[in-house]
Amino acid sequence: MTTTLPHPPHRLPVLGDVLTADPARPTQHLAEQVPELGPIFDTQIFRHHLTVVSGTDLYADLCDEKRFGKHVGFSIGFAREVVADALFSAYTTEPNWSRAHNILQPAFSLSAMKNYHATMVDTTRELIAYWDERARSGPVDVHTDTSKLTLQTIGRIGFGHDFRSFESSEPDPYATAVTGVFAYMGRSGYRIPVHWLDHLVHRRTIAQVEADLAYTRSVVDDVIRTRRTHPEGAPDDDLLALMLTTADPEGGRFLSDENIRNQVITFLNAGHETTSGTLSFALHLLATHPDVADLARAEIESLWPAGTDPDPVFADIHKLKYVRRVVDETLRLWPIAPGFLREPLRDTLLGGRYPVRAGQPMVALTLAVHRDPVWGPDPLAFDPDRFLPERARTRPPGIYKPFGTGLRQCIGRQLALHESVLALALILHRYDLEPDPGYELEVAEEFTLKPVNLRLGLRRR
Ligand code: MNH
């Protein structure tokens, strides 16, 4: 593709921008290039071009569903090597996308959230019991433990499976394996595009990924087999039951066994690593902004007085409006899905001025848009009250998209928000957060963003 868009300096034939790219933190690096390269620029990794869109008006226009749709390529294309046409990685035109979307939609309704609430409370209490014990001997490893919480939660509410994540102090082996697989897929665009050479150079990594994938599949196959042989006592409306026993209301088709396996892997991953990242960043931001933590606690203690043992009911979560703003603001500064891929449905002009071609791979760079000066004089400041309705109204629409956009936006949004608000509220009710004084936030990209080696002291209140 020839392009007149700006591109990074020192571009080389064949390699493109490989030497100036940063495979370990690709989207953070792209966001860092915005001041130099502008609101829309081109990058090239080997022979693949990607148009990077970070101008707020261009980003909003890229979300116009009449002219643009989800692009399946790059890391999502590589994810298809593992989970094929499961919900997240399917082309919108593939029959299994709408089939699975229709079959699974009931599991994300408001009444479904009400059903999940008690399990979410129980699982958060397990985290707190675990932290009560461990925090006495020093700071806790935040992301390892938020991952235990969210994996345990999605395992139970989606699939009736108990990962028993809190029985060991090690990271959950399933989380480690599946994160390894997806992290590898996320980096795959930077793999040497010569197959035999790539396999020679990376043979140990590849062997590890294959072992991780085999383990992931064996756990998932076990979960499915257990439900098939013992459906008695299990809910008839969780994710697994819907997939095993219900057909697409449009067309009457069921999902195949292989597709169900891929959906389970997808949901265990999408359902846990996103919410754990959100909680980890939120806890870091709260620990380093005690004024915000105090305001949140005041709200929480107005519902559940200090010193009591809270028994949150479903409706409480919607009363925690400040805690919700903390989550919204966390996902603004650290959108754990730092961008989403789009493509023009036909040749068009982006923002009325940049010609783009049907199918051209583009990324809507949420990470940069969420920090644009349009947010105010200090866009990097952590200020949950940006999400007060009266302040939100003063901003242009279409610039806050942590859950993606349109038809292919996140199906788990309500679940993730309910779980995040609930967990943060119970954690803040229980503990004062003590940041590690020497800690400088470092953010890893393994498909999603997550803080590296974040530790916090927890002092029971
Ligand atoms: Mn989720 C799609 C962000 C939690 C399951 N999710 C997306 C997309 C974003 C996203 C962005 C769109 C990706 C794209 O356009 O390519 N998701 C999040 C964030 C959180 C999150 C920021 C938590 C915070 N997601 C969850 C949870 C689940 C889930 C929890 C499941 C229980 N997400 C999905 C699935 C898709 C998706 C499935 C794909 C939906 C589709 O394409 O139809």
Residue pLDDT, tens place only, 275-294? 999 999 999 999 999 999 99
**Are 14 and 46 a contacting pair, CB within 8 Å?**
yes
Q: How far is ligand 1, taken at its centre, from the CA of residue 416, in Å?
A: 9
Half-sphere exposure of 380 (CA within 13 A, CB side): 0
Ligand 1, atom nearest to 90 Cα: 42
Ligand 1, atom nearest to 101 Cα: 43
Place of tokens 């085999």: 214
Half-sphere exposure of 169 (CA within 13 A, CB side): 8
Q: How far is ligand 1, taken at its centre, from the CA of residue 235, in Å?
A: 24
Report the sign of the C-alpha dihedral through residues 444, 386, 409, 420, in that order: positive
**Are 158 and 151 a contacting pair, CB within 8 Å?**
no
Q: How far apart are CA 461 and CA 456, in angstroms?
A: 15
Residue nearest to atom 1 of ligand 1 (CA): 410
Q: What is the pLDDT of residues 103-132, one digit of tens each?
A: 999 999 999 999 999 999 999 999 999 999
Instruction: Record the tokens describing residue 14, joined without a space.
Output: 């064949």
Residues 6+ apart with CB under 8 A from 129: 166
Question: Catalytic residue positions?
Answer: 274, 403, 410
Q: How far apart are CA 115 and CA 120, in angstroms?
A: 10
Instruction: Record the tokens describing residue 431, joined without a space.
Output: 């503990």
Residue nearest to atom 39 of ligand 1 (CA): 88
Amino acid in position 104: L
Report the sign of the C-alpha dihedral through residues 144, 150, 153, 156, in that order: negative
Q: What is the pLDDT of residues 355-404, one digit of tens each?
A: 999 999 999 999 999 999 999 999 999 999 999 999 999 999 999 999 99
- The model carries a pTM of 0.97
Ligand 1, atom nearest to 108 Cα: 32
Ligand 1, atom nearest to 278 Cα: 24
Q: What is the pLDDT of residues 245-267, one digit of tens each?
A: 999 999 999 999 999 999 999 99
Q: Which residues pair with 51 in a beta bridge?
A: 42, 362
CATH fold for the domain made of 26-460: Cytochrome p450 (1.10.630)
Q: Give how far Cα 127 sits from Cα of 122, 124, 320, 330, 456, Å.
A: 9, 5, 20, 21, 15
Is the C-beta atom of 337 inside 6 A of ligand 1?
yes
Beta-strand pair 362-364/48-53: parallel
Give exposure, 39-49, as e/b (b: 16+ Cβ within 10 Å).
Answer: bbbbbbbbeeb
Number of other CB atoms surrounding residue 168 within 10 Å: 10
Is the C-beta atom of 278 inside 6 A of ligand 1?
yes
Q: Where would I find the beta strands (DSSP E) of 164-236?
A: none
Beta-strand pair 362-364/340-344: antiparallel
Q: How far is ligand 1, taken at its centre, from the CA of residue 295, in Å?
A: 29
Q: How far apart are CA 136 and CA 457, in angstroms?
A: 9
Q: How far is ligand 1, taken at its centre, from the CA of residue 409, in Å?
A: 7
Residues 6+ apart with CB under 8 A from 273: 147, 150, 175, 178, 179, 182, 446, 447, 448, 450
Is the C-beta atom of 103 inside 6 A of ligand 1?
no
Is the C-beta atom of 87 inside 6 A of ligand 1?
yes
Q: How far is CA 162 from the centre of its chain?
A: 22
Q: How far is ligand 1, taken at its centre, from the CA of residue 294, in Å?
A: 31
Is the C-beta atom of 402 inside 6 A of ligand 1?
yes
Place of tokens 């692009």: 71
* Residue to mutate, 70, 262, 274, 333, ligand 1, most ligand atoms under 8 Å from C-beta: 274
Is the C-beta atom of 264 inside 6 A of ligand 1?
no
Ligand 1, atom nearest to 401 Cα: 11
* pLDDT attached to residue 3: 52
Instruction: Record the tokens describing residue 445, joined without a space.
Output: 């990209």
* Residue to mutate, 410, 413, 450, ligand 1, most ligand atoms under 8 Å from C-beta: 410
DSSP at 15:
T
Q: How far is ligand 1, taken at its centre, from the CA of residue 402, in Å?
A: 9
Q: How far is ligand 1, taken at its centre, from the CA of residue 88, in Å?
A: 7
Report the sign of the C-alpha dihedral through residues 95, 98, 103, 107, in that order: positive
Is the C-beta atom of 339 inside 6 A of ligand 1?
no
For the chain, first and last CA: distance in Å?
A: 60
Residue nearest to atom 26 of ligand 1 (CA): 412
Half-sphere exposure of 25 (CA within 13 A, CB side): 13
* pLDDT attached to residue 195: 74
Listed by start position, the domains of the chain span 26-460
Mind listing the pLDDT tens digit of every residue in the chain (461 residues)?
Answer: 445 899 999 999 988 998 888 888 999 999 999 999 999 999 998 889 999 999 999 999 999 999 999 999 988 988 898 999 999 999 999 999 999 999 999 999 999 999 999 999 999 999 999 999 999 999 999 999 999 999 999 999 999 999 999 999 999 999 999 988 888 887 777 777 777 777 777 787 889 999 999 999 999 999 999 999 999 989 999 999 999 999 999 999 999 999 999 999 999 999 999 999 999 999 999 999 999 999 999 999 999 999 999 999 999 999 999 999 999 999 999 999 999 999 999 999 999 999 999 999 999 999 999 999 999 999 999 999 999 999 999 999 999 999 999 999 999 999 999 999 999 999 999 999 999 999 999 999 988 999 999 999 999 99
